[in-house]
Amino acid sequence: MLLHKQEKVIVLDFGGQYSHLVARRSRELKVFCEMLPFSTSIEELKARGAKGIIFSGGPSSIYDHSAPACDPGIYNLGIPILGICYGMQLMARQLGGAVSRAVHREFGRKELQVFERDRLFAGLEQVEQCWMSHGDLVEAPPPAFKVTAMTGEAPVAAMSHPNLDLYAVQFHPEVVQTPKGQEILKKFLYDICGCQGLWTMASFLEETVSEVRRQVGDKKVLCGLSGGVDSSVAAVLVQRAVGDHLTCVFVDHGLLRKGEAEQVLKIFPDKFKINLIGVDARERFLSRLAGVSDPERKRKIIGEEFIRVFEEEADKLGQVDYLVQGTLYPDVVESGTATAAVIKSHHNVGGLPEDMRLKLIEPLCWLYKDEVRALGEELGMPEEVLWRQPFPGPGLGVRILGEVTAAKVAILQEADAIFTEEIRKAGLYRQIWQFFAVLPDLKSVGVMGDKRTYAYTVALRAVHSQDAMTADWVRLPYEVLEAVSSRIVSEIKDINRVVYDITTKPPSTIEWE
Ligand code: XMP
């Protein structure tokens, strides 16, 4: 059984920056949406059983030598199609309309003159706002198509075929700058494609649990649980499906935040009845890191040691058949290996031995990050797990510059905990992508109680980001910075100076190493 067979639409991806957004908007409307490459064959599209197809936008001109195009047989499938931006230009060209090359781009918020209220535009006003971002434009629609809207620059800003359920818009209904965009998508999904909105987290959960249960049977499943959102939700879901057949391994490498290990080791067995093996590998990691200060060497040592510990635990358990991974949908789409089912065969995952012959269970492989959080809520998981910030695998190892020692870890954990407490107190926790303390390898002179001090400087970092590719520093209120600074220097005797990092990414990175 494939997931969500009963109701789905497909976004055919022509490489547009908003392609994922179309899929997300559709899911917000409770219609499951899958993204496939534009080159997907007609047979494959038929086999997917979609109720509708949406052509995404894309950066190409249809006049480019290698402009992406789908098989024109798609128009004969009898499945409703909505073309967006490049998708509209392609539809126009493939069906015999006229598309002119860009002289200049039309970009930004525009007035849309609606003069034909077809099924897509039912209920719209005569003039609506829309968001345009295109070069080429459709000059004349294909034969039998009607022009349904225009803008000052685009004579055909929307078009449709009265009988064939083919619709196209030059603007982007998926962005918030098109205020009626979601309404338009809803019309397409519900009124034109006949969807009913069956995609809910409750239905996804039920379906996935029974799918995992069916496939695993009485075999053994292993999961590396870091306490991060993805691995935590994946583990709790698989536990619900197969109970005691699942064993999770949590490796404490001693580079976690204050209280983190205790929290993970308590919540998962207590609240979710998960078999959890906690491995205290703190000594082991610290001794391997002794004397090492090069950032890349540190990362490498931590990564290798992690896998070694994990392998040893897997060996102790005996023959394991499945490994749970928290892979998300964007990774699946980007790697070009659209996953057809929850479970697929895999060897040698992340350095694990070949002879384990593990099969992967990737229960989140259909979901976006915010959907994983919603699924976690459906599973009754607490906020402190679901809203955890991204935390690097090497942990505090890349936030302690220079050699990592137990003493430095303890200092940084305290400073980080104070920063977190104050951010929470100020009600800013959910608004910030990531914030943390860093311990540079730096001591300076200070004065305290009339005495000279010579102690560490701690740096605070707080950033806003969408996807960690770029980031801006957070303009934290001075009062919050003041409270954090004064608490850190008075409560941690090894710190006498606090600085705030005000660099963006690029040119900096979010982490310091
Ligand atoms: P940078 O420092 O490259 O970080 O701007 C971007 C994002 O990735 C996180 N990060 C990691 N996450 N393993 C991870 O799972 C790692 O080795 C790692 N290094 C950086 C970082 O916290 C930020 O969110």
pLDDT for res 340: 36
Beta-carbon neighbour count of residue 143 at 10 Å? Answer: 9
- Under the phi-then-psi rule, with left for phi > 0, alpha for psi from -120 to 50, and beta for the rest, what region is 459? beta
Cα–Cα nearest to 488, from 511, 462, 458, 463: 458
Q: Is 422 tagged catalytic?
A: no
Cross-strand bridge partners of residue 400 = 439
Q: Is 174 tagged catalytic?
A: yes
pLDDT for res 353: 59
- Is the distance from CB of 75 to CB of 94 less than 8 angstroms? yes
Atom of ligand 1 lying closest to residue 391 CA: 22
Cα of 261 vs centre of ligand 1, distance in Å, is 20
Helix, strand and coil percent figures for the chain, each rounded to 5: 35, 25, 40
Q: SS3 of 84, please? A: strand
In the block, residue with structure tokens 């908007």: 25
Cα of 229 vs centre of ligand 1, distance in Å, is 15
* Closest protein CA for atom 6 of ligand 1: 468
In angstroms, the CA 493 to CA 449 distance is 12
Residues within 6 Å of ligand 1 by CB: 390, 392-394, 434, 468, 505, 509-511
Instruction: Please pick, among 7, 128, 174, 414, the residue that the annotation labels catalytic.
Output: 174
Q: SS3 of 183, please? A: helix
Q: What does pTM read for this prediction?
A: 0.84
Q: Is 70 tagged catalytic?
A: no
Instruction: Please pick, among 33, 70, 85, 248, the residue that the annotation labels catalytic.
Output: 85
In angstroms, the CA 269 to CA 457 distance is 38
Cα–Cα nearest to 24, from 232, 182, 233, 193: 182
Cα of 391 vs centre of ligand 1, distance in Å, is 7
Structure token pair of residue 31: 């219609």
Atom of ligand 1 lying closest to residue 434 CA: 24
- The per-residue DSSP string of 471-505 comes to BEE----HHHHHHHHHHHHHH-TTEEEEEE----B
Classify residue 309 as exposed, middle or buried by CB count within 10 Å of its CB (0-12, 13-18, 19+). buried
Atom of ligand 1 lying closest to residue 389 CA: 24
Cross-strand bridge partners of residue 134 = 106
Residue type, 492: I
Instruction: Please pick, among 134, 172, 245, 253, the residue that the annotation labels catalytic.
Output: 172
Could you report the average pLDDT of every consecutive run of 10 residues in the chain (513 residues)? 69 92 94 94 94 96 94 97 98 97 87 96 97 94 98 96 96 95 98 96 94 94 94 97 96 96 96 96 98 96 92 88 90 59 51 69 92 96 92 96 98 98 97 97 95 97 90 97 98 98 95 96
Between strands 246-252 and 275-280, the pairing is: parallel
* Closest protein CA for atom 20 of ligand 1: 392
Cα of 190 vs centre of ligand 1, distance in Å, is 40
pLDDT for res 6: 73
Choose which residue among 464, 473, 510 to substitute to test ligand 1 binding: the one with the highest number of ligand atoms within 8 A of its C-beta: 510
Cα of 350 vs centre of ligand 1, distance in Å, is 17
Structural domains in the chain, sorted by start: 8-192 (3.40.50.880), 201-386 (3.40.50.620), 405-500 (3.30.300.10)
Q: SS3 of 110, please? A: strand
pLDDT for res 336: 57
